[in-house]
């Protein structure tokens, strides 16, 4: 009997049916053999009876001899032969009992194993308290079931992607292009309307090119961004991205986040092996420590399960699913309050604008040919209420006086319209718990303050690394081996991701106003240092733009600014007070950067080559 290929991750219904019928057949075969033996024995008895009655046409086993004399037949058996026959009958009966017993045992064991296997495939539902509760058995129509009719010609998935935001949509297209069957489950497939992910740094754009997705910033009225303009106390300076050695098309891009995502979703959906489904994933399905798939609710409210050897969770900054895959340590240092300004011109067209305001920075950048996004940072966990007008009051009285005059009227007009949006600014270092069958990506995995607009660049850079790691693997079904292989992902991504994360955290602190003299000096020194231009600004801007995200370069540039600040204090004539402020400035700079670096992981960030998983190369014969 031929069994269908066995899916290690989960036996399909077809496989179970085959296995059950296989064991039944085994039983049947054994029984048949014993039936034959029994039949033989009864034949023997019959023959003996016939022989005793002297019937004709009897053929007997060779062990028995038959002779006839004077018209009657007589069975001639020696005493020895009789004993032998008795022994044989005993043996036949023993075989029958033992064989039946063994066959039954085998059947019971097989059924037990299968029941256990199915019983263990339990969905985990998050409860209100954050714990998980077991639910129903696995769906029969899963990835391992080769008998299930393929849906829309799609068939079983190799990868399930939870969430089709920036990371999920880009990943779906990338893996789909590589020939994987991808099942994307996204809570809401309509165009998102958000204030996040609107400025893609040039480093992120380069990743977009690497993934073949650069056309997703076309036809969405995206604006080219060439650098930053910085403002402090009535002064301003312009900082160009160091794009000299790149193709003229390479620059930053700013746009409506929803339009960008729809373009990527649309592009992914054109691939026949990518299935985009609207549904909310409620939990991960886990069996013996391995993630087997997801439990989700469709748009129509149907509760379904989907199975695949690899589930990639990209459910964004508010992720409900990451708890079982990492140790989330989320910090919310501030919120962004967002307004879309209309009918106004930025002081510097095609530049991101950073106002080093009090208490914290304000950002402006174009998101279309007619709109400018304004993001006002409000420090702390609590925001002034929008409902009771406190927010409008705060924006008018505290923020409006600090913004460039060209933007003032449009800013006030937008507040009057009441179109005010808010988002928490979260940071969360990556701290994965490698889990067979699953992986986290995007904001669900790792977040940084959005002041530098680095989130999408990190997500896209991670996708490039993941794509390269998965490419040589033809079979994703060995969950443990895959998990071990993907451990290198966490190491390989570190230098780039940690540099962008650390810079974001450090710059946010430097850019915030502070009553502390040393911190004040540091903020001004930073502005003056960058204003020097050329080699002085190129290093930090290359880091910020994701064009040169190197940890060592980050630390060197950061302390170059701090030392510049100390030099500014001590020249031309140092005083004890200035010396003291200088010393505190260095201490403050260390106090800003080192805790962030420690949280990111010193060894992974600076010495990734000392980590064994760095060298875990994909094996092509997998």
Ligand X SMILES: Cc1cc2nc3c(=O)[nH]c(=O)nc-3n(C[C@H](O)[C@H](O)[C@H](O)COP(=O)(O)OP(=O)(O)OC[C@H]3O[C@@H](n4cnc5c(N)ncnc54)[C@H](O)[C@@H]3O)c2cc1C
The residue ranges that bind ligand X (CB under 6 A) are 162-168, 185-188, 195-200, 280-281, 314-317, 320, 336, 423, 425, 442-444, 450, 453-457, 459
- Where b means 16+ CB within 10 Å and e means fewer, 222-250 reads bbbbbbbbbbbeeebbbbebbbeeeeeeb
- Non-local CB neighbours of 62 within 8 Å, separated by 6+ positions: none
Task: Give the nearest distance from C-beta 524 to ligand X in angstroms.
Answer: 26
Nearer to ligand X, 301 or 515 (CB): 301
Nearer to ligand X, 232 or 264 (CB): 264
**68 phi, psi to nearest 5 deg:** -120, 150
Regarding beta strands 362-366 and 351-355, do their DSSP bridges make them parallel or antiparallel, or are they unpaired? antiparallel
Nearer to ligand X, 470 or 500 (CB): 500
Q: 3-class SS at 221? A: coil
Task: Give the nearest distance from C-beta 581 to ligand X in angstroms.
Answer: 34
Task: Give the nearest distance from C-beta 421 to ligand X in angstroms.
Answer: 9
Task: Give the nearest distance from C-beta 601 to ligand X in angstroms.
Answer: 20
Nearer to ligand X, 4 or 379 (CB): 379
- Non-local CB neighbours of 2 within 8 Å, separated by 6+ positions: none
Query: Is the Cβ–Cβ distance between 190 and 446 less than 8 Å?
Result: no
Query: Is the Cβ–Cβ distance between 260 and 197 less than 8 Å?
Result: yes
Task: Give the nearest distance from C-beta 516 to ligand X in angstroms.
Answer: 27
* Half-sphere exposure of residue 119: CA atoms within 13 angstroms, side-chain side: 6
Nearer to ligand X, 144 or 352 (CB): 352
Q: How far apart are CA 131 and CA 123, in angstroms?
A: 12
Task: Give the nearest distance from C-beta 333 to ligand X in angstroms.
Answer: 12
Give the CB-nearest residue to ligand X: 165
CB atoms within 10 A of CB 214: 16
Helices (H), 143-256: 166-177, 202-210
Regarding beta strands 438-440 and 421-427, do their DSSP bridges make them parallel or antiparallel, or are they unpaired? unpaired
Query: Is the Cβ–Cβ distance between 379 and 333 less than 8 Å?
Result: yes
Q: How far apart are CA 164 and CA 154, in angstroms?
A: 18
Task: Give the nearest distance from C-beta 450 to ligand X in angstroms.
Answer: 3
The label of the residue with tokens 């992120």 reads 204
Nearer to ligand X, 138 or 195 (CB): 195
Task: Give the nearest distance from C-beta 320 to ligand X in angstroms.
Answer: 6
* Half-sphere exposure of residue 139: CA atoms within 13 angstroms, side-chain side: 19
Nearest to 516 by CA among 574, 568, 585: 585
Nearest to 209 by CA among 163, 261, 249: 249
Nearer to ligand X, 255 or 536 (CB): 255
Task: Give the nearest distance from C-beta 531 to ligand X in angstroms.
Answer: 24
Nearer to ligand X, 344 or 444 (CB): 444
Nearest to 399 by CA among 358, 342, 430: 358
Nearer to ligand X, 230 or 588 (CB): 230
């Amino acid at each position: 009997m031929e069994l269908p290929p066995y899916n290690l991750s989960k036996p399909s219904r077809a496989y179970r049916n085959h296995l059950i019928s296989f064991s039944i057949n085994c039983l049947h075969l054994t029984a048949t053999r014993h039936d034959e033996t029994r039949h033989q024995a009864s034949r023997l008895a019959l023959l003996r009876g016939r022989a005793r009655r002297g019937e004709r046409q009897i053929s007997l086993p060779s062990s028995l001899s038959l002779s006839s004399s004077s018209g009657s037949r007589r069975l001639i058996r020696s005493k020895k032969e009789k004993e032998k026959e008795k022994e044989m009958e005993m043996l036949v009966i023993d075989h029958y009992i033992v064989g039946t017993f063994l066959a039954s045992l085998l059947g019971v064991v097989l059924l037990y194993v299968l029941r256990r296997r199915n019983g263990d495939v339990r969905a985990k539902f998050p409860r209100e308290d954050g714990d998980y509760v077991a639910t129903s058995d696995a769906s029969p129509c899963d990835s391992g079931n080769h008998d299930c009719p393929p849906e829309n010609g799609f068939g079983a998935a190799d990868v399930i992607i939870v969430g089709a935001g920036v990371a999920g949509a880009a990943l779906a297209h990338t893996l789909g292009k590589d020939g994987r069957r991808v099942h994307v489950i996204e809570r809401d497939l309509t165009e998102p309307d958000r204030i996040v992910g609107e400025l893609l740094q040039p480093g992120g754009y380069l990743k977009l090119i690497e993934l073949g997705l650069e056309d997703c910033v076309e036809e969405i009225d995206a604006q080219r961004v060439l650098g930053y303009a910085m403002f402090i106390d009535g002064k301003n300076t312009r900082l160009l991205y160091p794009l000299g050695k790149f193709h003229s098309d390479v620059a930053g891009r700013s746009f409506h986040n929803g339009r960008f995502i729809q373009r990527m979703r649309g592009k992914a959906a054109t691939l026949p092996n990518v299935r985009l489904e609207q549904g909310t994933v409620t939990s991960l399905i886990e069996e013996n420590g391995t993630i087997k798939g997801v439990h989700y609710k469709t748009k129509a409210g149907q509760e379904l399960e989907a199975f695949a050897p690899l589930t990639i969770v990209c459910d964004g900054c508010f992720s409900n699913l990451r708890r079982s895959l990492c140790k989330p340590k989320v910090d919310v240092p501030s919120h962004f309050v967002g307004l879309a300004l209309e009918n106004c011109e930025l002081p510097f067209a095609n530049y991101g604008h950073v106002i080093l305001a009090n208490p914290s920075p304000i950002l402006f950048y174009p998101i279309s040919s007619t709109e400018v996004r304004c993001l006002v940072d409000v420090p702390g966990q609590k925001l002034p209420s929008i409902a009771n007008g406190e927010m409008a009051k705060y924006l008018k009285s505290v923020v409006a006086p600090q913004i460039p005059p060209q933007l003032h009227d449009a800013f006030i007009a937008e507040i009057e319209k009441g179109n005010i949006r808010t988002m928490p600014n979260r940071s969360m270092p990556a701290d994965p718990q490698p889990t067979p069958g699953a992986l986290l990506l995007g904001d669900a995995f790792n977040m940084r303050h959005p002041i530098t607009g680095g989130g999408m660049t990190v997500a896209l850079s991670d996708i490039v690394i993941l794509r390269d790691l998965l490419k040589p693997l033809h079979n994703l079904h060995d969950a443990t081996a895959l998990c071990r292989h993907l451990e290198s992902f966490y190491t390989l991504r570190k230098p780039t991701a940690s540099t962008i994360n650390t810079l974001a955290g450090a710059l946010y602190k430097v850019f915030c106003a502070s009553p502390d003299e040393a911190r004040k000096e540091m903020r001004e020194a930073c502005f003056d240092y960058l204003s020097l231009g050329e080699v002085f600004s190129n290093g930090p801007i290359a880091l910020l733009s994701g064009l040169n995200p190197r940890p060592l370069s980050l630390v060197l540039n950061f302390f170059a600014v701090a030392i510049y600040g100390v030099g500014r204090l001590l020249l031309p004539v140092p005083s004890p007070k200035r010396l003291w402020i200088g010393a505190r400035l260095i201490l403050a700079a260390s106090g800003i950067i080192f805790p962030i670096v420690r949280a990111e992981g010193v060894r992974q960030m600076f010495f990734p080559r000392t980590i064994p998983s760095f060298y875990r190369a994909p094996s092509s014969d997998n």
